[in-house]
Chain A
Amino acid sequence: MSIVMKSGEVPRYNANERVTHWVVAITFILLAASGLAFFHPAFWFLTSLLGGGTWSRILHPFLGVVMFVFFALMAVRYWKDNIIQPYDKEWQKRLSDVINNRDQNLPEIDKYNIGQKQLFWTMIVTMVVLMVSGIVLWRDTFGVFPVTVVRVAALAHAIAAFVLILGIIVHIYSAIFWVRGSMRAMTRGTVSHAWAKHHHPRWYRRVTGNTK
């Protein structure tokens, strides 16, 4: 597949994809903040974000549904790009080089590296756990479940949220601070040729038809 290039840029996400991502991102921030507030008193101040404890309790589940639905759209759109390939495993063997920014001669990977792919599958699992357990905890809308089910759901919700937040911390750090030139993919929709060639050479060849 070959795409006509605009002046020196490689398209990575169209407007539709970017909006979907940012709906998930914004709802995630609000959910993580209000959820952490319910989890530990050290985070209680975060209830202010949604207008206090009671408003946080009311809004949190609705935001959760929005995040789940929009993430589902992303899951449908990207699952094929996230199947783990043999070259991803090779790339993973050099993880310490990646972490230490020694990127020379890394195995050539496609649109996503294995870290991104693992985050994708982790998000699918945690989102489903959060949604299912969230329904159990959403008592003013879904009524009362057996108390043991509620207890297990509360624990599952906390653990899944922890895993998700941990993954997103890595995601945000990598996209905004660590891997320079990534952020514009989600803000403007394009990346530079150099970025694409360096970080995702297989993908670069695939979308540009450029074999160099």
Chain B
Amino acid sequence: MSMQSLAVQKRSATTTTPPSVRVASEPVAKLIDISKCIGCKACQVACMQWNDLRDEVGVQHGIYDNPVDLTDQSWTVMRFAEYKSPEGKLEWLIRKDGCMHCEDPGCLKACPSPGAIVKYANGIVDFNSSNCIGCGYCIAGCPFNIPRISQKDNKAYKCTLCSDRVSVGLEPACVKTCPTGAIQFGAKEDMVARGAKRVGDLKERGYQQAALYDPAGVGGTHVMYVLQHGDKPDLYSGLPTDPKISPWVSLWKGVTKPLLSIGLGLAVLGAFFHYVTRGPKDEEPGAH
């Protein structure tokens, strides 16, 4: 949902300035410290509860992931990965998956419907479902495989970072409910500092490659992870190492868009001026 009370920085399929007169709030971020997550799934429940989502009760797949993937009703899921370190230590890497709220959102770049996706000045990327036409381009644009289209209404859904709560000064529901403090929320600057501090702690405790995941390829994200193994994001159920908007999408929604549009306009103008300067072709020149 698009929040009237938040300034908008980017608006899908829009070439004019989006509504942005409000004093821009500072960029926010959610910090997910994977080294503190115990995989209790309270965040999943809080997300369902706050957003009035009730996914179908699925089946047990033999793993802890449940539901097994994001859906239109499950905007966040815990992904459990078992990792055996070179020293032979078994680690359980549990990643809370969901929208990363990219600074340069691929979904918004790909979306053809004006205002169906907005990025607020505070960094939250939000879907305005009433403007969504259900084409699925956001899925093609997303480097993290997040949006899901509902079978029921053919609209795309994903985590809103609780934009409705944030707009009135509350933290997202998952943050509020997390019992270990693994999920924190605040100004991005503060979250980066807190993440850096935590990375320092982890390094002291032997995780030499610990790092803050705030990938530069998408301009940074407004959901960040503290990773024990920052050099191998892939260990965390396939977290992309260097996510960026796919070059195919950049071509499609970048240069091609204005270039081909101008090309067609010129072709029509060319035809018109050919008629004006050369005139029609008669069977016998000058017969008409």
Contact = CB atoms under 8 A, between A and B. Distances in A.
B252 interface: yes
A101 interface: yes
A199 B267 contact: no
B274 A173 contact: yes
A60 B283 CA distance: 40
A41 B280 contact: no
Interface in B243-278: 246, 248-249, 251-252, 256-258, 260-261, 263-264, 267-268, 271, 274-275, 278
A36 B265 CA distance: 12
A53 B252 contact: no
B262 to A, nearest CB: 10
A148 B137 contact: no
A169 B267 contact: yes
Contacts of B256: 155, 158-159, 162
B206 interface: no
Contacts of A40: 257-258, 261
Contact of A39 (B15, B139, B257, B282): B257
Interface in A142-162: 144, 147-148, 150-152, 154-155, 158-159, 162
Interface in A67-108: 99-101, 103-104
Interface residues of B, number: 45
Given A173-B274, A180-B288, A197 B246 contact: no
A150 B139 contact: yes
B190 to A, nearest CB: 34
Contact of A152 (B139, B248, B275): B248
A27 interface: no
Contact of B261 (A39, A154, A178): A39
Contacts of A18: none
Interface of A: 36-44, 53-54, 56-57, 99-101, 103-104, 137, 139-140, 144, 147-148, 150-152, 154-155, 158-159, 162, 165-166, 169-170, 173, 177-181, 192, 194-195, 197-199
Nearest to A140: B154
A42 B15 CA distance: 8
A103 B136 CA distance: 51
A177 B264 contact: no
Contacts of A169: 264, 267-268, 271
A140 B134 CA distance: 9
Most buried by B among A137, A148, A151, A178: A151
B248 A162 contact: no
A92 B278 CA distance: 19
B113 interface: yes
B252 A154 contact: yes
Contacts of B252: 151, 154-155, 158
26 contacts: A36-B264, A40-B257, A40-B258, A44-B112, A53-B133, A54-B133, A54-B134, A57-B133, A57-B135, A99-B274, A101-B279, A101-B285, A140-B154, A147-B145, A147-B246, A148-B248, A154-B252, A158-B260, A159-B256, A162-B260, A170-B271, A177-B280, A179-B281, A180-B283, A192-B283, A198-B283
B274 A178 contact: yes
Given A41-B15, A139-B149, A166-B267, 15 more contacts: A41-B13, A43-B261, A99-B278, A101-B285, A147-B139, A151-B140, A154-B248, A155-B252, A166-B263, A170-B271, A173-B274, A179-B280, A180-B288, A197-B283, A198-B284
